[in-house]
A and B are shown apart, each in its own frame.
Chain A
Amino acid sequence: MNNDAYLWVHKMSGILEALWAGIAQLGEYLSAHVVTCLIPAFFIAGAIAAMISKRTILKYFGSKVKKWISYSVASVSGTILAVCSCTILPMFAGIYKRGGGIGPATTFLYSGPAINILAITLTASVLGVGLGIARAVGAILMSIVIGLIMASIFERKQAKTRSTPAVEVEETSTRKRPWYASPAVFVLLVLILLIAAPSYIPLYPKVLVVTALVIATVAIVRKHYSKDEVGAWMQETWWVVKKIMPILLIGVFITGVIAYFVPYDWVRSAMGGNLIVSCFVASIIGAILYMPTLLEVPIVGTILGYSQGVIGAGPALSLLLAGPAVSLPSMLTLWRIIGARKTAAYILLVITFSTILGVVFGMVL
């Protein structure tokens, strides 16, 4: 065999191996424990979208609402709301321009994409429960701290300019049902998620308990919700699946293929260990890179090799904290809404605190 042919065969087998790595990665993400996590999470996301009006949340922002209420609602409303930063930006603009103040608005902007239920679930099931919890708690804390700092830097000058009340909200609740019905449904759904997910619960008790919980949920829903409401829930769930799954599956495959070519020695030297430098580099990468919703998980786990131990828990957390919150395209839109100075301050704060929390998490673990 001459040299050219040998090289060609060599190249082809490399490509095949890379494709195989992509398929293997896809198999890993479609394995039972990930799917059992995602299915309840999709139903929860659908229920939230169908039952909670986005505008209801907006009444907690406004110059007349107590600040601590605005900040607390802002920091957790991301779990409820968006599945991607593109839907967060218009709401951020609305809160900011209608007198919600830069502080709560920024808290909302940060926490929104960082702590939605699907992202946290996927993080916990693929990268480990520790990192999942650290991500949720870290994002909530960070969103409040960043909001408060933004307010203390920029608020004083603007305090008097706008005092428009919060958004008026049309009440859409039509059907009367006992006050406990909706909370009960949510609690049951979250229980299903928490019991279905962890691999240390043996299969048989798990199936039994989950079945019982599902039956209880169905019973409550059938008793207290109309057919239309259930239909709306299922429709929303399907939309979330349709919006997320194609990108997730293609993305998981592509990250698997890319990972085949990643020079891990280089990654290790830039981001290995839990050093400040590693966390800082991870934060910067996270802030610049645009990551479609949920793809931050395979990016951290596979491309940067967290699952293989290439990077430590610290930089992994840094990247998860900085990643979904900021990206180059979102920076540009943000710039047009709040101006260059505030945008720059926001990005610097995100990078700084992502780095700090990463370092702290790396030391604790």
Chain B
Amino acid sequence: MKKVEILSAGCPKCKFVEKRVRETIEELGIDAKVEEVTDMSKIIKRGVMATPAVVVDGSVKSEGRVPTREEIEKWLK
């Protein structure tokens, strides 16, 4: 099972990314768990500098921007 973390500052943009990730997972029928991380010191520990960031199985895939659906699909495969 994949573990997807959305590092988020609770902003509308972060919420949008989280929604898009959840939708993509549902569409593809992938076995994945999505978790929202909002604790700023945890985010900093990851070395992420801009929210929203998407982390799949521990590796940072994108930060500070909204990834496209195609990108998300690629990361989840």
Which residues of A are interface residues toward B (Cβ below 8 A)? 53-55, 58, 86-87, 89-91, 93-95, 97, 167, 235-236, 239, 242-243, 333, 336-337
The 18 sampled A-B contact pairs (Cβ below 8 Å) are A53-B64, A54-B49, A54-B50, A54-B64, A55-B50, A87-B50, A87-B51, A89-B40, A90-B48, A91-B49, A91-B50, A97-B47, A239-B12, A239-B16, A333-B40, A333-B41, A333-B44, A336-B41
CA of A53 to CA of B65, assembled, Å = 8
Number of interface residues of B (CB under 8 A): 18
Which residues of B are interface residues toward A (Cβ below 8 A)? 9, 11-13, 16, 40-41, 43-44, 47-51, 63-66
Chain A residues with CB under 8 Å of B12's CB are 239, 242-243
Q: Are B64 and A239 in contact (CB under 8 A)?
A: no
> Known: A239-B12, A333-B41. Is A94-B64 also a contact (CB below 8 A)?
no
CA of A236 to CA of B41, assembled, Å = 26
Chain A residues with CB under 8 Å of B44's CB are 89-90, 93, 333, 337
Q: Are A239 and B50 in contact (CB under 8 A)?
A: no
Main secondary structure of the interface of B (DSSP, over half): loop
CA of A86 to CA of B47, assembled, Å = 15
CA of A336 to CA of B42, assembled, Å = 11
CA of A87 to CA of B16, assembled, Å = 17
CA of A93 to CA of B66, assembled, Å = 22
Q: Are A94 and B47 in contact (CB under 8 A)?
A: yes
CA of A91 to CA of B64, assembled, Å = 10
Q: Are A90 and B16 in contact (CB under 8 A)?
A: no
Chain B residues with CB under 8 Å of A93's CB are 44, 49
Chain A residues with CB under 8 Å of B41's CB are 333, 336-337
B32 to chain A, nearest CB (A): 25
Chain A residues with CB under 8 Å of B16's CB are 239
Chain B residues with CB under 8 Å of A55's CB are 49-50, 63-64
CA of A87 to CA of B44, assembled, Å = 11
Chain B residues with CB under 8 Å of A243's CB are 11-13
B11 to chain A, nearest CB (A): 5
Chain A residues with CB under 8 Å of B13's CB are 236, 239, 243
Chain B residues with CB under 8 Å of A86's CB are 9, 40
Q: Which residue of A lies closest to B46 (CB)?
A: A90
A67 to chain B, nearest CB (A): 21
Chain B residues with CB under 8 Å of A94's CB are 47, 49
Chain A residues with CB under 8 Å of B64's CB are 53-55
Chain A residues with CB under 8 Å of B47's CB are 94, 97
B5 to chain A, nearest CB (A): 15
